[in-house]
Structure 1
Amino acid sequence: MRSEPMTFFLNTLKISILVCVISFAPAWAESKAAAQVSIAEVLANIQHFYVDDIDAKKLNQHAIESIFKQLDPHSEFLDQNELEALFNVANGRYTGLGIEVEQREEHIVIVAAVENSPAHTAGLIKGDILLKVNGTSVINQTIKHVSQLINQKQQPQVTLTIARSGHLDPLFFEVERKKIDLKSVRGSINNQGVAYLRIINFNNHTLYDVAKELAHLSQIVAGDINGLIIDLRDNPGGILDSAIEISDLFLESGVIVSTKGRFAEANQEYYAQEGDVLNGAPIIVMINEGSASAAEILAGALQDNHRAQLVGTRSYGKGSVQSLIPLGDGQTALKLTTAKYYTPSGRSIEGTGILPDFPVLQRESEHYAAGDSDSFVNAKVHDLQLEKAWQLLEK
């Protein structure tokens, strides 16, 4: 019986054969035979007949890794621990350092340090390049390998060697693995009734958290919210349903997103239901190159439906959907890219991202508020993108 896939947007990028020709067959026969050969059969013969003893588990792992190298970087095999970690993140909690990373050629680069995480407290920042983990070089290594190095040490302390722009010498950080509760939403509101809402990620609780925060902000001013700034900067994404449901909060009608793939269930259109929690009050959405996946779904849905204007810089450009397909042992799964998503106007943003209506470059020399409610209400922090968003709502 085929397992039903569970669909996620997952932003974390994880993911020799010696041939001896014994005999030849006609091209047509070779092609037909190749199509019928199973990996299990090949591995079984190697294990049974190969001249030396083979570690079956290691051989099987290498075979799996070889298969996924032919696919995109978002598709991978998840073992029991990785699957458990994925579900924990989806439910807003996990044990780790609190860094979001991506692979850029031979380097693993930090794209975000989760707010209030050990990594954030230690001072790790976006753009830091991982050189070593516990003294072991991670250059030209996969994210999966780096994750294993971080988690294999019994002691919770992990030593990271970092290359950082503006520093000639490597930096060293002692970071402790801890249980992290992923707070996905925070907000504030000023005396004019203009609210600020930072969505940090999209997990199973984010819809509830957004609705609860908006109700709380409305109570503070004892009235309606007159305008809203949604900050999606450095939001790496998360769960598809969460992005769709939050988009629907602000839309009366129209397409939110569509997905297209090879199997029937991958082809879907998602529509907004009647009802706008802000009753038409203006919305500004802030994005940058760290806004990806589900964050791009929300930004694209509000932009294409003319419900919000976008401020900031071009978003990341992850326009694919990953589905979890449980395997027969009940403890492992495949995470496969099964569809591409399209904004309401039919745009695929894979590799191109979403362009803001008002491009504003945040200079590195200036502080990025990153959801600091005091900086929004009291204007203590010079954040060009936030200032532009405020100006647009004042018009």
Structure 2
Amino acid sequence: MGALLQSRDSGDRSGQGAPISWGSRASLFLGHADSCYGADEGLPLSSIPLSYDALTSRRHHKGRPSILPSSEETAALLELEKEDLFTKDAWEGMLKISDYVKYVEGLEAVEDGEHNCVDNRLLLEKAWQVVANEFYDCKGRFSQAAWAGQLLQTLQDAGGCLHTRSQTYTALKAMMASLGDRYTEFLLPSQFRQALRRPQPIERDYLEAQFTGVGVQLGEHSRGQGWIVDGCLAESPAEEAGILQGDLITEIDGYPTDSLTRADMVSLLRGPSSSGLILTVSREGLSHTRAVYMERRPLPQPPIKEANILLDSNKRPTQYVRMHYVSSSATRQMASLLRRGQKDDVAGFILDLRNNPGQPIAQTVRNQEVIDNVWVAGDLSSEVFPQQPAQLTTKPVVILVNSGTASAAEVLTGALHDNHRATVVGQKTFGKGVVQFYFPMDDAGSGLKVTVSKYLGPTGYDISRNGGITPDITCNDYPHGGLLTASDDRCIAAALRLIQAAS
């Protein structure tokens, strides 16, 4: 599916939203991103060498290490690199980093004998450095100067010393939150292992317990009201009850949720299989709340569900395929179903991507100049795609989407739509067309998840900037517990009409 999209960082690293680009000599401020993992399978990527490695390697200043240059080297660089060679934002960022270096060199009394202070400061600098090198802001708000100032402010707020690892982790979470990107975050060691699918044995039972419940995915806390639903797992009790992305949970079993933490909410939503709970839910545009009874159950998530739906009185079938999430296994199953349907001469295909959160499906390839290669359908690198993708079917295709259709599911929708191979039916999609990488930190296993680039459709359509993909035909319905008839689901009915008209 990655063959159907373009992966671009923005094309202009000096423009709005681009990561810091301060020139070859000035890159000493940015250091060296040792390694990172592609968000698809946690695969290690090559190191990214930047110029002036000798200056950016860890040095000792009176016995204390730093990954940044000394104040003397900083002053020499600022004299060497004239202001008119940089954007105003980049130059101000350089000046703020100079202030940070001077501040750190003045911490001799604070850091003497405090090895934890040094180690924790280095962790802070490493995280800052990764973001400075790699972060991409699809909304164009990222400021080089502001991010440079954030490093100094964070250390000053700690009084010049982060004494404990817990204090450092809290500071790192706050730094990442200051970027205003919901997908860029600091991950604790246990979270980082889970993200890379490498849980320790003691964590496996916890992960399995996450999939016994009602299938509600929590979003943000709405102060004074409750918790916003970010989405529902496919074919979960919550989806079957008609809970939608954007709904507000105001009570659980009659207990107000406004004062509950996220951990409290998760604890109440989970429980023994077959046990019941009542969610009180409000929805924008409705003047009343509704109480919904659901029973908790295990929530296995096979990637694909498929069935034949009779198109007309002649019993001609349409192939219905629901993709719960995007993965290499789902891709293989999808290809097999399309080939089989083509051979069986079905009338067409309904691809149901509603509430499909996607999965990162490709990693951005970088060369020595840290410039992203662009993958374009029809002109794909033989190293990445040894064989060009072939057309699997000539039958009509209708894609069903809603506000829970996100990430790789949106990329797939946009690729088929832009290539005039599918009609899109449903609601506007979620609007996540950006890519994240995972970067390990130099401690006991923590890491960063950082937005590094975005996807564009074949026509150049920007999923994130446009807030999602607008369907060709609007239909407001949800999957009804896996029932697959037109009378149960208005969107399936609309898709069948389109296939009948095209066949």
Structure 2: state its 5+ residue gaps.
1-32, 42-74, 76-91, 105-117, 125-153, 200-206, 379-387
The residue identity in structure 1 corresponding to 2:100 is: A
The answer (yes or no) to whether the contact 2:169–2:188 under 8 Å persists in 1 is no
The answer (yes or no) to whether the contact 1:318–1:350 under 8 Å persists in 2 is yes
Decide whether aligned partners of structure 1 residues 57 and 148 sit closer, same or farther in structure 2, where only a CA change above 3 A counts.
farther
CA distance in 2, matches of 1:109, 1:197: 29
Of 329, 352, 357, which aligns to 1:236?
Answer: 357
Q: Which has the higher contact order (CA 8 A, sep 6+)?
A: 2
The answer (yes or no) to whether the contact 1:285–1:310 under 8 Å persists in 2 is yes
The answer (yes or no) to whether the contact 1:85–1:94 under 8 Å persists in 2 is no
CA distance in 2, matches of 1:85, 1:347: 32
TM-aligned CA deviation for residue 234 of structure 1: 2.2
Establish whether residue 34 from structure 1 lines up as the match of residue 100 from structure 2.
yes
Decide whether aligned partners of structure 1 residues 132 and 350 sit closer, same or farther in structure 2, where only a CA change above 3 A counts.
same
Decide whether aligned partners of structure 1 residues 129 and 105 sit closer, same or farther in structure 2, where only a CA change above 3 A counts.
closer
Of 363, 370, 374, which aligns to 1:264?
Answer: 370
Structure 1: state its 5+ residue gaps.
10-25, 245-257
The residue identity in structure 2 corresponding to 1:235 is: N
Decide whether aligned partners of structure 1 residues 174 and 185 sit closer, same or farther in structure 2, where only a CA change above 3 A counts.
closer
The residue identity in structure 2 corresponding to 1:359 is: I
The answer (yes or no) to whether the contact 2:242–2:478 under 8 Å persists in 1 is no
CA distance in 2, matches of 1:134, 1:56: 39
Identity %: 22
The answer (yes or no) to whether the contact 1:128–1:162 under 8 Å persists in 2 is no
For 1:23, the equivalent position in structure 2 comes to none
Decide whether aligned partners of structure 1 residues 313 and 133 sit closer, same or farther in structure 2, where only a CA change above 3 A counts.
closer
CA distance in 1, matches of 2:264, 2:173: 15
TM-aligned CA deviation for residue 308 of structure 1: 1.4
Of 339, 355, 371, which aligns to 2:470?
Answer: 355
TM-aligned CA deviation for residue 290 of structure 1: 2.1
Of 456, 460, 468, which aligns to 1:346?
Answer: 460
Normalized per residue, the structure richer in strand is: 1
Report SS of the residue matched to 2:39.
Answer: strand
Report SS of the residue matched to 1:239.
Answer: coil
The answer (yes or no) to whether the contact 1:94–1:180 under 8 Å persists in 2 is no
For 1:20, the equivalent position in structure 2 comes to none
Of 16, 36, 53, which aligns to 1:4?
Answer: 36
CA distance in 2, matches of 1:29, 1:314: 44
Decide whether aligned partners of structure 1 residues 124 and 233 sit closer, same or farther in structure 2, where only a CA change above 3 A counts.
closer
The answer (yes or no) to whether the contact 2:251–2:281 under 8 Å persists in 1 is no
The residue correspondences of 1:254-333 to structure 2 (distance < 5 A) are 264=370, 266-271=372-377, 273-278=388-393, 280-329=394-443, 331-333=445-447
CA distance in 1, matches of 2:441, 2:331: 30
Establish whether residue 381 from structure 1 lines up as the match of residue 500 from structure 2.
no
For 1:62, the equivalent position in structure 2 comes to 170
The residue identity in structure 1 corresponding to 2:266 is: I
- Equivalenced residues, count: 341
CA distance in 1, matches of 2:96, 2:344: 74
TM-aligned CA deviation for residue 62 of structure 1: 2.0
The answer (yes or no) to whether the contact 1:184–1:201 under 8 Å persists in 2 is yes
CA distance in 1, matches of 2:280, 2:407: 27
The answer (yes or no) to whether the contact 1:135–1:159 under 8 Å persists in 2 is no
TM normalised by structure 1 equals 0.69
Decide whether aligned partners of structure 1 residues 337 and 187 sit closer, same or farther in structure 2, where only a CA change above 3 A counts.
same
Decide whether aligned partners of structure 1 residues 327 and 197 sit closer, same or farther in structure 2, where only a CA change above 3 A counts.
same
Give deviations 1:153-183, integer Å, cap 9, x for gaps: 997689786433468568587875x764312
Report SS of the residue matched to 2:392.
Answer: coil
Report SS of the residue matched to 1:108.
Answer: strand
Decide whether aligned partners of structure 1 residues 323 and 140 sit closer, same or farther in structure 2, where only a CA change above 3 A counts.
farther
Aligned residues: CA RMSD: 4.4
Task: Specify the structure having the higher radius of gyration (Cα).
Answer: 2
The residue identity in structure 2 corresponding to 1:4 is: C
Give deviations 1:250-303, integer Å, cap 9, x for gaps: xxxxxxxx999997364431435242222x112111222222111110011001
The residue correspondences of 1:1-395 to structure 2 (distance < 5 A) are 2-8=34-40, 32-34=98-100, 37=104, 40=121, 56-71=164-179, 72-87=181-196, 94-96=208-210, 97=213, 98-103=215-220, 106=223, 108-117=227-236, 119=238, 123=241, 125-126=243-244, 127-131=246-250, 139=258, 146-147=262-263, 150=266, 162-165=280-283, 171=291, 180-189=299-308, 190=310, 191-214=315-338, 223-241=344-362, 264=370, 266-271=372-377, 273-278=388-393, 280-329=394-443, 331-352=445-466, 353-356=468-471, 358-362=472-476, 368-369=478-479, 372=482, 374-375=484-485, 379-383=486-490, 385-395=491-501
TM normalised by structure 2 equals 0.56
The answer (yes or no) to whether the contact 1:316–1:351 under 8 Å persists in 2 is no
The residue identity in structure 1 corresponding to 2:36 is: E
